[in-house]
Amino acid sequence: MSFSYVSHLECPKCQEVYPEHEVQQLCQCGSPLLVRYNLNEIKANLKKEDVTTRKGNLWRYHEILPVKQEENVVSLDEGMTPFVHMKELGKKMDIKNLYIKDEGIIPTGSFKTRGASVGVSKAKELGVKQLAMPTNGNAGAAWALYAAKAGIKATIVMPEDAPTITRKEVAISGGDLHLVNGLISDAGKIVGKLVKEKGIYDASTLKEPYRIEGKKTMGYEILEQLNWEIPDVILYPTGGGVGLIGIYKALLELRELGWISSEKLPRLVAVQAEGCAPIVKAWQEGKTESEFWENSETSAFGINVPKALGDFLVLEAIYQTDGCAVAVSEADLSQAQKDVAELEGNFICPEGAATFAAARTLREQNWINADDKVICLNTGQGIKYPESVDLSNVPLLQPEDVITG
């Protein structure tokens, strides 16, 4: 038995192949690269029941992850996040089998952790000493903390108006943090120059091939938590789209391994905000790539991505699974965040709330049936987004006061 059955890297656009034991960034054609495995060997050596009894973190799937030597694994025991049937909210939405997969309950508090754990581990295996990335917050926080654990220097550049809490996560890790008086695109340019001039590892979204492998484990876990029975619909908040790309990749791999039935896949839904919906527009127009969304705006800053490098992969996942793409309003998103907390006790992030708002819309349109098994992905913790809660109506008492009810 090998620890990993990784085989090579492959370009999904031009099919060019690259070895996995050397540092690779984008394909020469400009596309992100995907990691391939010897799935037939895994199929012969590993049963899904073997995985189930392992420790409850994402590394239980190590044969289908890209790290070859176990000692290179950089782990904070992340993964196997909560998976809960939401009975009350399901009643209200007339979706009996509504589930949350809660990615807020993971080290660093967002799904970015999965990409960081696998990405940093593989960087360590490849001998990387320094990495650099632009970020709007959560990804930078996750990569900085995992890089610290790995002994890799992390240069993180974020816009001055990115959330303060993520800045603090980078700072306490001892990471090389820089703020920029500009947008994430400005941060990207600064990182681009640094990478080019100093030969530093570029950890920008999809410019390294391994974060997808971390994020695909959300797909493995959902299926394992459903006892390998395929759900009907999975809704994902879509900015860069790596989570959705990863889940689709996971489904194809599980099918090839024979761990799930080959009849149908869940319908994948890309959820965006009305103020930034390039994937929705492309899907509505039947296109295979998106266009840059001008003057994008949404309170769910994690899905404020006007043009994603992997947009064609997101659209492929939607088309291939008979899925769809939906944009939700800021008001619906905010209401969904409240409903989830009041009925189910989860304090979720605005991006996660968007998936519940979208599920309600799709149910109203009968695109989702009342009996469908529906999974909403919450990508981060509400407490990382304190501005999403209004405290203006909270009464202030004096010590001698009395509460009457």
Query: According to CB under 8 A, which residues from 50 to 79 bind a copy of itself?
Result: 52-53, 56-57, 74-78
Our finding on whether 146 is near a copy of itself (CB under 8 A) is: yes
Our finding on whether 34 is near a copy of itself (CB under 8 A) is: no
Concatenating the DSSP letter of every residue in 288-344 gives: SS----TT---S-GGG--SS-TTHHHHHHHHHHTT-EEEEE-HHHHHHHHHHHHHHH
- Pattern 307-346, a copy of itself, x by CB under 8 A: ------------------------------xx--xxxxxx
- What distance in Å separates the CA atoms of residue 306 and residue 312, rounded to the nearest whole number? 14
Q: Which stretch binds a copy of itself (CB under 8 A): 140-148, 204-212, 249-257, 275-283?
A: 140-148
Please state, in angstroms and as integers, the Cα–Cα distance from residue 165 to each residue in 29, 169, 183, 209, 384, following that order.
37, 6, 18, 27, 7
What burial letters (b/e) apply to 243-273, b meaning 16+ CB within 10 Å?
A: bbbbbbbbbebbbebebbeeeebbbbbbbbb
Our finding on whether 80 is near a copy of itself (CB under 8 A) is: yes
In 3-state terms, what secondary structure has residue 7? Answer: strand
- What distance in Å separates the CA atoms of residue 290 and residue 306, rounded to the nearest whole number? 9
Pick from 181, 229, 285, 366 the residue near a copy of itself by CB under 8 A.
Answer: 181
Nearer to a copy of itself, 37 or 143 (CB): 143
Site for a copy of itself in 344-363 (CB under 8 A): 344-347
CB of 165 to a copy of itself, least distance (A): 5
Pick from 126, 165, 226, 252 the residue near a copy of itself by CB under 8 A.
Answer: 165
CB of 342 to a copy of itself, least distance (A): 4
Pick from 26, 179, 226, 252 the residue near a copy of itself by CB under 8 A.
Answer: 179
Our finding on whether 145 is near a copy of itself (CB under 8 A) is: yes
In 3-state terms, what secondary structure has residue 57? Answer: coil
Our finding on whether 182 is near a copy of itself (CB under 8 A) is: yes
Pick from 35, 180, 279, 368 the residue near a copy of itself by CB under 8 A.
Answer: 180
Site for a copy of itself in 189-228 (CB under 8 A): 189-190, 193-194, 198
Pick from 30, 174, 199, 258 the residue near a copy of itself by CB under 8 A.
Answer: 174
CB of 74 to a copy of itself, least distance (A): 8
Please return the burial class of 22, using the count of CB atoms within 10 Å of its CB with bins 0-12, 13-18 and 19+: exposed
- What distance in Å separates the CA atoms of residue 87 and residue 81, rounded to the nearest whole number? 19
Size, binding site for a copy of itself by CB under 8 A = 78
- What distance in Å separates the CA atoms of residue 311 and residue 339, rounded to the nearest whole number? 31
Axis crossing angle, helix 242-257 with helix 211-225, rounded to the nearest 10:
60
Question: Is the CB of residue 213 less than 8 Å from the CB of residue 197?
Answer: no
Nearer to a copy of itself, 88 or 256 (CB): 88
Our finding on whether 401 is near a copy of itself (CB under 8 A) is: yes
